[in-house]
Amino acid sequence: MLKPVCAIALAFVSTAAFARPSTLAMTCAQAQNMVASQGAVVMSTGAHTYDRFVASPGFCEFNEWAYTASAPTKDRRNCSLGYTCSSNPPLEYDGGLFGPNGGF
């Protein structure tokens, strides 16, 4: 009897630990504050979509480029949430000495 109860409790804890905030459940200001206060946060942007939003390009890896990002929120269709990071260089990148985000 104890094993099924433990398994159910473990499943609940595991699910709760991986729940991510949804931009659709927040106002634009709330979502912006979350990104600003945490620096980087993964948020759901729809029923089956999510993204990692960062407060500044400094939260991207060395080999990533920062692109301005927005997502729908409870009160706006397009709320500016900082940046997302991508390993795809911008179209105008010439592959010069300076890597993504201006560093070596």
Largest pairwise CA distance in the chain: 65
pLDDT tens digits, 13-29: 444 556 899 999 999 99
pTM equals 0.72
Nearest to 23 by CA among 42, 3, 4: 42
Give Cβ neighbours of residue 103 (< 8 Å, ≥ 6 apart).
62
Q: Domains of the chain: which residue ranges?
A: 22-102
Tokens of 20: 């991510």
Neighbours of 56 (CB within 10 A): 14
Render pLDDT for 14-68 as a digit per residue (tens, 0 to 9).
445 568 999 999 999 999 999 999 999 999 999 999 999 999 999 999 999 999 9
Q: Which helix (H) or strand (E) holds 43?
A: strand 40-44
User: What is the reported pLDDT for 102?
Assistant: 52
70-92 pLDDT, tens digit each: 999 999 999 999 999 999 888 77
Q: Is 97 exposed, middle or buried (0-12, 13-18, 19+ CB in 10 A)?
A: exposed
